[in-house]
């Protein structure tokens, strides 16, 4: 396949999953009170559609943590890493820009009705449809999540996702046509478990791209968690480590021969 088609596939796929997934959170905040399982289901559909739509052009990683794990497994060239990260982030940014353009007037009305001044510390409550926060703002009155706990949740969630991807994409597994659906459902299941604590990012591009759009869209520092380094350690570093751990677990389970 053409290298440029690979990159375009990664960009479009990441765009689809971020637009649908973050859009579901926007709907829950602005228009209709969706429950956690409904948001998780929409994310599942978004991920599955993104993979179905792009896997004939690219590997459909759509996630830097997945790309990193696949490179550790020697399934692709390390030279592709910078370009994959750029287009994955680009897809997330483009999806977030479109989403903000579509909902901004309603979002401003929501902020006015709830006495939220965009850019003030409390305006993180209207930024949750872009970057993630810990604990999830919908559970902040009932949950206390430390910085370390948030890192563990994101790391374990991503590790589970990447391990499932490694297992179901084995050549001898025989379920190729079901792979996108299974991956999507895995994402939804992990969201059900992890989202109350960290909103379940599981994907550095999915978090950082929308967070950048929120930052420049007027939220500024309110687009980031209260712990200033949390966006990096919880939502970028921990998923990357989780993906790497999944690769080595898979190696010892299926590839290592004594």
pLDDT (0 to 100) of residue 257:
64
Structure tokens at 2: 């053409």
250 with 166: CB under 8 angstroms? yes
Residue 1 has pLDDT above 80, yes or no: no
Separation of alpha carbons 130 and 124, rounded Å: 10
Q: What is the mean pLDDT of residues 104-132?
A: 94
Partners of 120 in the beta sheet? 118
Tens digit of pLDDT for each residue in 160-217? 999 999 999 887 666 788 999 999 999 999 999 999 999 999 999 999 999 999 999 9
* DSSP assignments along 123-169, one per residue: GGGGTTTTS--SS-GGGTTT----HHHHHHHHHHHHHHHHHHHHHHT
Closest CA to 183 of 1, 91, 54, 4: 54
CATH number of the domain residue 113 falls in: 1.20.1080.10
Structure tokens at 228: 């200033």
Sequence-distant (≥ 6) Cβ neighbours of residue 201 within 8 angstroms: 132, 154, 207, 234, 235, 239
Domain extent, residue 228, equals: 3-255
Residue 118 has pLDDT above 60, yes or no: yes
Structure tokens at 15: 């765009």
Residue 258 has pLDDT above 60, yes or no: no
State the CB neighbour count (10 A cutoff) for residue 173: 11
**Core vs surface per residue 83-109: b (16+ CB within 10 A) or e:** ebbebbbbbbbbbbbebbeebeeebee
Domain total in the chain: 1
Residue 255 has pLDDT above 90, yes or no: no
Q: Using pLDDT thresholds of 50, 70 and 90, give the confidence band for residue 3.
A: confident
Separation of alpha carbons 54 and 9, rounded Å: 5
Q: What is the mean pLDDT of residues 80-102?
A: 97
pLDDT (0 to 100) of residue 156:
98
pLDDT (0 to 100) of residue 176:
81
Average pLDDT for the chain: 94
Partners of 118 in the beta sheet? 120
Separation of alpha carbons 13 and 6, rounded Å: 10
50 with 14: CB under 8 angstroms? yes
Q: What is the mean pLDDT of residues 226-250?
A: 95
Tens digit of pLDDT for each residue in 122-131? 999 999 999 9
């Amino acid at each position: 396949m053409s290298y440029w088609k690979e990159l375009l596939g990664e960009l479009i796929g990441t765009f689809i999953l971020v637009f649908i997934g973050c859009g579901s959170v926007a709907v829950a905040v602005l228009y209709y009170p969706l429950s956690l399982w409904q948001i998780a289901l929409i994310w599942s559909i978004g991920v599955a559609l993104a993979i179905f739509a792009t896997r004939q052009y690219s590997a459909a990683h759509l996630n830097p943590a997945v790309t990193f794990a696949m490179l550790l497994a020697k399934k692709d060239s390390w030279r592709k890493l910078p370009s994959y990260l750029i287009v994955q982030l680009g897809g997330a940014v483009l999806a977030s820009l479109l989403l903000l353009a579509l909902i901004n007037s309603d979002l401003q009305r929501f902020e006015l009705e709830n006495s939220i001044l965009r850019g003030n510390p409390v305006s993180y409550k209207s930024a949750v449809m872009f970057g993630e926060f810990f604990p999830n703002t919908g559970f902040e009155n009932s949950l206390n999540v430390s910085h370390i706990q948030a890192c563990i949740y994101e790391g374990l969630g991503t590790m589970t996702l990447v391990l499932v991807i490694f297992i179901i994409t084995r050549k001898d597994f025989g379920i190729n046509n079901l792979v996108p659906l299974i991956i999507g459902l895995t994402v939804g299941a992990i969201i059900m478990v992890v989202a109350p604590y960290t909103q379940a990012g599981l994907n550095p591009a999915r978090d950082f791209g929308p967070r950048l759009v929120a930052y420049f869209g007027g939220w500024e520092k309110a687009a980031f968690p209260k712990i200033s380094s949390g966006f990096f350690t919880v939502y970028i570093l921990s998923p990357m480590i989780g993906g790497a751990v999944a690769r080595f677990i898979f190696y010892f389970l299926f590839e290592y021969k004594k």
